[in-house]
Every structure is written in structure tokens, then in C-alpha cells.
Amino acid sequence: MSTHPKQIALEGIMRKMCDELDHRLEESFGSAYPRHPNRPARGRAASVAYDGLFSTGTQFTLGYGSDHGRGYIVSVEIRTLSKVKKEDEEAVEEATVAIINELLPQYFPEREITLKKDGNVYKLVGDFSLGSSSNE
């Protein structure tokens, strides 16, 4: 089964938004911990998701058992072998929420998409429709 071109485009926009999130987290926290030895320095990999201290992305979920239903879980991982202090995890989480809330209207100006806390994860929820087939 192939992926619809509009779905590919939507997820491409999300990737670009996560790349910007990654850049901004690197600017604020990138020197706080040594990066994992298997990860190249920032700007050295083909994708920002594979270098530096942070790895960011989204993953679709059907939302079974969720208060908010289906959506895209926002993933931010700190790629280090060092123990990350709880206060640093919280600072990265707060920064992530602020940055995503700032970026959503820029990357999705025509859609109602919001960031919601869903259990112990953050999820993008809202209008992920692909439009009617007559709009293709």
C-alpha cells in the first residue's frame, strides 16, 4: 500500500518543523552534555535528526486509550551516555513546548493543530485531513 502524496507532503512539513526545533534546542542546550560517541557533531550528518545532542521527530498514533485521540507524538531525545539531570530534562521539555507552539502557526497556517500533553508524551492533534479527492 503506497502513501498518499498529500500525506507525504504533510509529514515533510512536520519534518521541517522538527528540524527547526532541533536547531533551536541545539542552540540552547547543545553543549550541556557530551553527545553520544556514535553521533557526529552538529551539521555533520545528512539530517539534523542524526547529529548533535538532540534527535527530534514525530510518529503517528491512532490514539487508542488516549484522551486526545489520534495524532502525532512529538519525540525529543537527548543523545548522550551521561545521566541527564531532571531539571535539565524539564528545561528541554519546557523549551520544546514553547518552540512547537511558536512554530505551529508558521508551518501549518491553514490548519487547526495544537500540542497537547497526553499522559507522559506530547502530541500534535487537530486537522490532519488530506482534503477531498477533487482537490488533487
Report the b/e string of 63-95 with b at 16+ CB within 10 A. Answer: eeebebeebbbbebebbbeeeeeeeeeeebeeb
Q: Do the domain assignments include residue 26?
A: yes
Predicted confidence at residue 135, as pLDDT, reads 46
Does residue 136 form part of some domain?
Answer: no
Contact 67, 118 (CB under 8 A): yes
60 inside domain:
yes
Q: Is residue 116 part of a domain?
A: yes
Q: Among 85, 80, 84, 77, which Cα is nearest to 37's?
A: 80
Q: For 81-130, what is each residue's pLDDT tens digit? A: 999 999 999 999 999 999 999 999 999 999 999 999 998 999 999 999 88
Residue 46 lies in a domain: yes
pLDDT at 40: 87
Helix, strand, coil distribution of the chain in percent, nearest 5: 40, 20, 40
**Within a domain: residue 134?**
no
Q: How many domains does the chain have?
A: 1
CA atoms lying within 13 Å on the CB side of residue 119: 10
Asked whether residue 41 is assigned to any structural domain, the reply reads: yes
Does the residue 35 lie in any domain?
A: yes
**pLDDT for the residue 55:** 94
Q: Which domain holds residue 11?
A: 5-128
Q: Is residue 136 scored above 70 in pLDDT?
A: no
**Which three cell numbers, joined as nine digits, stand for 42?**
552538529
What is this structure's pTM?
Answer: 0.90
Tally of helices (H runs) and strands (E runs) in the chain: 2, 4
